[in-house]
Amino acid sequence: MGGSLRRLLVAGWLLICFGTSSTEAAPTSPHQIFAPVLVFHHVKAFLPGDNAIERGLTVPPEQFDAELRYLRAHRYHTVSAYALVRALLSGRRLPSRPVVVTFDDGYSDVYANVFPALRRYHLVATFFIVPGFLGRPRYLSWRQVLTMSRHGMDIEAHTMTHPDLTVVSPGQRVSEVAGSRTALERRLHRPVLIFAYPYGAYNQAVLETVKRSGFRAAFTTRQGWLERSDSLLTLPRVYVDNDDSIQIFAGRLTADPAALAADPL
């Protein structure tokens, strides 16, 4: 497909799905939505060889299952990052008590442990994928990513090889950001318009690269619950810790000061 035709098709898709063209700015009057965007990496059992970083990024399967059951029991509605951004841009209403469940990096355990659990509870999540890692040991395969996408999971971009974008050269920054979008779109056959910063690291040059690469929104690791249409490239998220009680988890969903003070991140 030629570049001009592809850009035209993507612009049309944006107009239909987001209610705005690819060059249109966010609304003059900002839309805002209280919606926790939860961050996970691994869902697996702890292994003897796991270092402190690995353990810090891991939530045990039984804890994750209890958290999904809590969401269902308390009438939370999981929405994709794509749906959240569309609502911010258009002002459309989301279901009551919206929550976005996100997974960074694309580890293989999300296919083994997360994907089946989400389907069991009829929930959706967003997976920020690093295309350059796919097929390596410990990471998803392209086949698994495509399977999750076909079953309603939201697949978005997280650079090609997960560098700190604030310290790489301008040329590498462009290839990492724009390249991840291109690689995913070619395999998914749909636009990829949402980004997550590796390590949560960004500066003004990174923001400009993300915007020029055609992304409509990007997520940080800065803690926050209020998502705003005038901050689409620096949207906050909320980490879920691996020793959260269900009471702490409930507090993370509502930004409850007592719960956050008891187990700050």
> Taking the domains of the chain in order of start, what are their residue ranges?
33-262
Q: For residue 14, what pLDDT is reported?
A: 45
Give the pLDDT band of residue 199 (cuts 50, 70, 90): very high
The mean per-residue pLDDT over the stretch 108-114 comes to: 98
Q: For residue 264, what pLDDT is reported?
A: 79
Of the candidate ranges 30-34, 74-78, 153-157, the one whose mean pLDDT is the lowest: 30-34
Q: For residue 29, what pLDDT is reported?
A: 67
The mean per-residue pLDDT over the stretch 80-101 comes to: 96
> Is residue 6 pLDDT above 90, yes or no?
no
Sign of the CA dihedral 7, 9, 10, 16? positive
CB of 194 closer than 8 Å to CB of 219 = yes
The mean per-residue pLDDT over the stretch 44-70 comes to: 95
> Is residue 25 pLDDT above 70, yes or no?
no
The mean per-residue pLDDT over the stretch 89-101 comes to: 95
CB of 41 closer than 8 Å to CB of 107 = yes
CB of 201 closer than 8 Å to CB of 165 = yes
- In 3D space, the residue among 136, 142, 164 whose CA is nearest the CA of residue 155 turns out to be 142
The mean per-residue pLDDT over the stretch 161-168 comes to: 98
Domain 33-262 = CATH 3.20.20.370: yes
CB of 174 closer than 8 Å to CB of 211 = no
Give the pLDDT band of residue 21 (cuts 50, 70, 90): very low
> Is residue 30 pLDDT above 90, yes or no?
no
> Is residue 5 pLDDT above 90, yes or no?
no
> Is residue 58 pLDDT above 70, yes or no?
yes
Residue owning tokens 């619950």:
225
- In 3D space, the residue among 102, 121, 98 whose CA is nearest the CA of residue 43 turns out to be 102
Of all residues in the chain, the percent with pLDDT exceeding 90 is 84
The mean per-residue pLDDT over the stretch 239-248 comes to: 95
Average pLDDT value for the chain: 91
More reliable by pLDDT, 35 or 15: 35
pTM assigned to the model: 0.89
Q: What angle do CA 248, 46, 253 make, to 5 degrees?
A: 20
CB burial class (10 A; 0-12, 13-18, 19+) of residue 52?
A: exposed
Of the candidate ranges 5-9, 74-78, 84-88, 175-179, the one whose mean pLDDT is the lowest: 5-9
The letter for the amino acid at 168 is: V
